[in-house]
Amino acid sequence: MRLFHYVLIFCFVTLSGFGQAGLKIAYVDMDYILDQLPEYKQAANQLDAKAQQWRTEIESKQNNIDNLKAELENERPLLTSDLIQDLEDEISFLENQLLEYRNKRFGVSGDFITQKRQLIQPIQDQIFNAIQELGEDRDYDFIFENSADALLLFSARRHDLSDVILKLINRNSRGAKQETADVLEEVEDYKSVEKAKDEELKKEEKALEEEERKSEREALLDERQRRRDSLRQARQKAFEERRAKILKEREERQRERDSIKNARENN
């Protein structure tokens, strides 16, 4: 509670200072904007479908492991210590494979996070670019985010730029040539600002540097993936050999049981 009181005091003092300094402040509701964009809903649905497919695969692998464990427990009295050890090794190997697969799909650097970034990031970039355009052209000092995770204790509706941001995004996505001032008819005294050439050059240089760093990271990740694939293939080969051995010994035991059974029936 004491921390919350400090936060309240800080926000009050800060916003009071903004008002005295004559700063220009607005906010956007990011959750509202995303909910209004069909592209975001489509991307989210695609990602959810992939995630559900991966969860189904993980569940199938887990069921296979559970079945092997149950089979081992049922046959344990009939198995030699070597066969028990082989089956336990097989189960341990499959559990490690499942852990690797789960991390590959849902880990910190897994496919879910990567594809979420690939699907959602372009849409978030559109929103960010529209906010930057509006902030620069209208000379705002601060544009806050008012969403479920943001701490905004009070916000007057007249400062909400969310619908304005949506109009900018829709205009840009259609490739329309409509003037920005016409799109932002709710905003008074709207004026455009020319981008400085040196700023554009700096952005291009930064983009090139980021592209180089990205290429280096991708090369490193490819090398790591090749090593993992090589190790996984070796493990898979060893697993298949052990599996074949176990199946062969099971068949031999079954034949011995059938032979004993037939002998008893004949007697």
* Residue whose entry in the numeric block shows the structure tokens 């619908």: 163
| pTM of the full structure | 0.47
Contacts of 90 (CB under 8 A, 6+ apart): 68, 239, 242, 243, 246
Do 217 and 266 lie in a common domain? Answer: yes
- What are 94-110's pLDDT values in tens digits? 999 999 999 999 998 89
Answer yes or no: do 182 and 213 share one domain.
no
Same domain for 128 and 198, yes or no, is: no
Residue 55 has pLDDT above 60, yes or no: yes
Q: For 57-74, how does the pLDDT look when each residue is reduced to its tens digit (9 = 90+)?
A: 999 999 999 999 999 899
The average pLDDT across 169-183 equals 64
Q: Measured between alpha carbons, how far is 124 from 7 in angstroms, rounded to an integer?
A: 29
Above 60 in pLDDT, residue 152?
A: no
Q: Which two tokens stand for residue 90?
A: 């097989």
Domain final position from 176, 193, 210: 193
* 260 shares its domain with 135: no
Q: Point out the least confidently predicted range of 24-28, 37-41, 171-175.
A: 171-175
The 3-state DSSP class for residue 186 equals coil
167 and 267 part of one domain: no
The last residue of a domain, from among 193, 215, 232: 193
User: Same domain, yes or no, for 189 and 201?
Assistant: no
Q: What's the CA gap between 86 and 21, in Å, rounded?
A: 75
In this structure, what token pair is assigned to residue 241?
């050999």
The reply to whether 42 and 155 lie within a common domain is yes
What is the crossing angle of helices 38-75 and 81-106, to 10°? 170
Question: Burial level of 30, CB count in 10 A (0-12/13-18/19+)?
Answer: buried
Query: Same domain, yes or no, for 234 and 123?
Result: no
Q: Give me the domain span that covers residue 47.
A: 2-193
Residues 93 and 117 reside in one and the same domain:
yes
Contact indicator for 157, 107 with CB cutoff of 8 Å: no
Distance of alpha carbon 128 from alpha carbon 135, whole angstroms: 10
> Which SS3 state, helix, strand or coil, does residue 263 take?
helix
The pLDDT of residue 10 is above 60 = no
Question: What average pLDDT does the structure give for the chain?
Answer: 77
Instruction: Tell whether 127 and 172 lie within a shared domain.
Output: yes
Phi, psi for residue 34 in degrees, rounded to 5:
-60, -40
Residue 146 CA neighbour count, 13 Å, CB half: 18
- Shared domain check, 231 and 138: no
How much is the pLDDT for 156? 58
Residues 214, 181 share a domain: no
Rg of the Cα trace of the chain? 31
Residues 6 or more apart in contact with residue 148 via CB below 8 angstroms: 31
- Total domains in the chain come to 2
Query: Is the dihedral angle over the CA atoms 72, 75, 77, 83 positive or is it negative?
Result: negative
- Among 137, 162, 193, the domain-final residue is 193
**Runs of H (alpha helix) within the chain:** 2-21, 30-35, 38-75, 81-106, 111-137, 162-174, 180-183, 197-266
